[in-house]
Structure 1
């Protein structure tokens, strides 16, 4: 039991916070915005635009008949389980590993909730410049991306964590 208390599993609290924020904002967006109608936040750069994605990042495998829902759901569960197991093996104070893992877990499970509830992921952050447009994304996607970048960054440039 003392091993669990000293492990980084406490960082799952951050994962829960990411999930809660992601789901709260998605609920607000779905009630306040109309599908594909942009609402400028920073004109010429950022809109809130409600969109749905049945695929993965960048709409990969979008509109493939529905089987991808279960593939990406299974992947989210497997990746989250592996990352939770990893959290259990590292010390609580090893924030350079715990923070990114918690962000990825929260993001993966936030999007998993959408897939299971709606069969698609709710996106709304629309970044663009002129004719160029980045695929719409959400808070869960942002957490996954930031977590992955931090994991790589700390792996390459971070000092060895105590523990």
Structure 2
């Protein structure tokens, strides 16, 4: 039993740590190499690395709130989400690999953005920006910029949705 618990937490570290390190390393590279609000065109007319800050939540929600409200709200939400994910992970059987992976991704993403909020005055560094030319009425064009932590959260949520829709680990 102890061996399974150890393997489970080693899995957690093996998934979470690389995501958080990659997220923070790329954010640092963006901060050092790209001036604020500047872009580097990676795929012409489609994909750009753009140095931006998000003071709000997903899609910039809450960005207009007072600074202290935003910081408390988003630090609180991230911290509570991280604790909930840790509790769920602890209760998840070792055999539920995909469910565990989803929780790890969500936790890693929450940590990546929480680190930003703690050390960057409540702001999150976003840098991935996509333009999709065929989108009608330019709805979400460009798509709101995001980062690796946001991708990890989205992947984790997608896997959880598959899990809950099918009632079993996907794939």
Q: TM-score, normalised by structure 2?
A: 0.86
SS of the equivalent of 1:19 reads helix
1:2 maps onto 2:2 in alignment: yes
Deviation at 1:159, TM superposition (A): 3.4
Structure 1 position 160, deviation (Å): 5.6
Structure 1 unpaired stretches of 5+: none
Aligned residues: 161
Q: 2:106 aligns with which of 104, 107, 125?
A: 104
Give, in whole Å, the separation in 2 of the partners of 1:136 and 1:93.
35
Deviation of residue 153 (structure 1)? 1.1
Distance apart, 1:133 and its partner CA:
0.8
C-alpha deviation, 1:85, in angstroms = 0.9
5+ long unaligned stretches in structure 2: none
Indicate the structure whose relative CO is greater, using CA pairs within 8 Å and at least 6 residues apart. Answer: 1
- What are the superposed Cα offsets for residues 23-48 of structure 1, whole Å, 9 maximum, x if unpaired? 11100110011111121111111100
The answer to whether the aligner puts 1:151 opposite 2:160 as a matched pair is: yes
Mapped pair 1:121 → 2:130: no
CA RMSD in angstroms, aligned pairs only = 1.9
Provide the secondary structure at the position in 1 that maps to 2:76: helix
Of 142-151 and 128-137, deviating more is 128-137
Shift of 1:97: 0.7
TM-score by length of 1: 0.90
